[in-house]
Amino acid sequence: MGAEENLNELYKRFLRHESKPEDIRRLMELFGTVDDQTLQELVRMQLDDPSAMVPFNAENRIRYDRIFNNLKQQTAPARPARKIWTAISAAASVILLLVTAGYYFLHSPSSRPVVAAQRIHNDVKPGGTNAYLILSDGQSIALAGERSGVIGMDAGKSIVKTANGQVEYVNGHNNHDNNKIGLNILQTPNGGHYRLVLADGTKVWLNAASQLTYPASFADLKERKIELKGEAYFEVAKDAAHPFIVRTDDQQIRVLGTHFNVNAYHDDGGSKTTLLEGSIRAAGNHSEAVVRPGQEVVSSSTGRLTIGQADTELAIAWKNDQFMFESEPVRPLMKKVARWYDVEVIYARDVPDVRFNGAISKFENISAVLKILESTGKIHFEVSGRNVYVTK
């Protein structure tokens, strides 16, 4: 049997979850010997799967090419281990799992076989579009249960829920007190996310377990001030005369018009702002800093700001509907899983400090995520109801 034929057979066996440890070891060896076209066909095989969330087509060719390039880089025989994950389609997650599995089999003789976790008796579905909108008069609107159309009025604006599950503020009635700022609050629960277009045209993506407080209208305001708890991605409408300001517990970000991500979860130990486009000025309790595209600014517990180079794809993976982790310890990683799947994570005493590289669609059930993490053979999970038990 030729190398190409053998590779196809081993790969199909892997997709059927029938691989033995020696099969995966041989498969990874073959990945380093076959030509580019053969590897591309294997990637295409999974992207063409009709059950895949993002099947192969012209629109996702760039993503497909990046999957292939990463795969090729990782299987080059003489190439050292390095950063291996970039943005991927959900359909290619099995290929990325294969790369992870192969790495551990080739570099860790004591690793266990990659098998479906037998202790995941139950499964948990992913989160979705869900949030609560609180108007300035205290009225609370459960957005998941609302039909599209006008759902409320505040500060002279009509509040519209669009057909694609997004809240927008548009011109409405004029019978309101211009001296009263109508503050609205958008809250996402665990297992929820939501999109919002503010009255000035600024677009906001709000992650799970987050809260955004903002004026229903920016009319007659010198500054566009909002407050964030949790995580959000912003595409700020340009308005040089009215700076846009995002406040967290320990940062204040001042912009005119730009794209950036703010992670300000209380239990993550400080705010981190990642800039993708434009420029921002960040202020902490004791310092200020100008941040350029491709950089991130992190607040320390003492209020100092630290600027460094950012992995922008990693920072906004959640906004692009992915889990992506690179050399990430299990506990902060599982915080993200807990927020999105609305589960409680319970650790045994002897859980090792394992770090993970990987990426998978946020719209897979929790079992798919946990199986990728279990591929190291060093950590295991058991799902019972909405509890996830982590053991060695």
Half-sphere exposure of 206 (CA within 13 A, CB side): 33
CB neighbours (10 Å) of residue 32?
14
Q: Is residue 90 part of a domain?
A: yes
Taking 60 as the threshold, does the pLDDT of residue 320 lie above it? Answer: yes
Domain boundary among 107, 136, 157: 107
Confidence of residue 113 (pLDDT cuts 50, 70, 90): very low
Across the range 60-89, mean pLDDT stands at 43
| Residue 25 reports pLDDT greater than 60 | yes
pLDDT of 68 > 60? The answer is: no
User: How many Å apart are CA 301 and CA 305, to the nearest integer?
Assistant: 10
pLDDT averaged over every residue in the chain: 79
Q: How many angstroms separate the CA atoms of 113 and 130, rounded?
A: 38
Distant-in-sequence, close-in-space partners of 117: CB < 8 Å, separation ≥ 6: 367, 370, 371, 374, 380, 381
Span 269-297, pLDDT tens digits: 789 999 999 999 999 887 899 999 999 99
| pLDDT for residue 241 is more than 70 | yes
Here the CATH number for the domain that contains residue 262 is 2.60.120.1440
Point out which residues pair with 387 in neighbouring strands: 344, 384
Identify the three-state secondary structure at position 191: coil
Which residue from 67, 81, 3 is spatially nearest to 35, judged by alpha carbons?
3
In the listed set 107, 137, 166, which residue is the last one of a domain according to the structure? Answer: 107
Maximum mean pLDDT: which of 141-145, 181-185, 233-237, 369-373: 233-237
Asked if 198 and 310 sit in the same domain, the reply is yes
Q: Which domain holds residue 242?
A: 128-315
Which one is predicted more confidently, 359 or 331? 331
What is the spatial distance between Cα 139 and Cα 153, in angstroms, rounded to a whole number? 11
* Each residue's pLDDT tens digit, 26-40: 766 666 565 556 655
Last residue of a domain, one of 77, 107, 137: 107
Q: Determine the average pLDDT of the residues in 49-74.
A: 47
Residues pairing with 350 in the sheet? none
**Higher pLDDT pick, 104 / 252:** 252
Residue 183: exposure state from Cβ atoms within 10 A (0-12, 13-18, ≥19)? middle
315 phi/psi in degrees, rounded to 5: -65, -35
Same domain, 135 and 101: no
- Same domain for 89 and 164? no
Average pLDDT for residues 138-148, to the nearest whole number?
A: 92
* Cα-based distances in Å from 215 to 13, 143, 199, 223, 284: 56, 18, 8, 11, 23
Identify the three-state secondary structure at position 100: helix
Residues 149 and 277 in one domain: yes
pLDDT of residue 203: 97
pTM score of the predicted model: 0.73
349 CB contacts (<8 Å, ≥6 apart)?
Answer: none
**Total structural domains in the chain?**
3
pLDDT bracket for residue 78 (50, 70, 90): very low
Bridge partner list, 347: 390
Residue 312's pLDDT band (cuts 50, 70, 90): very high
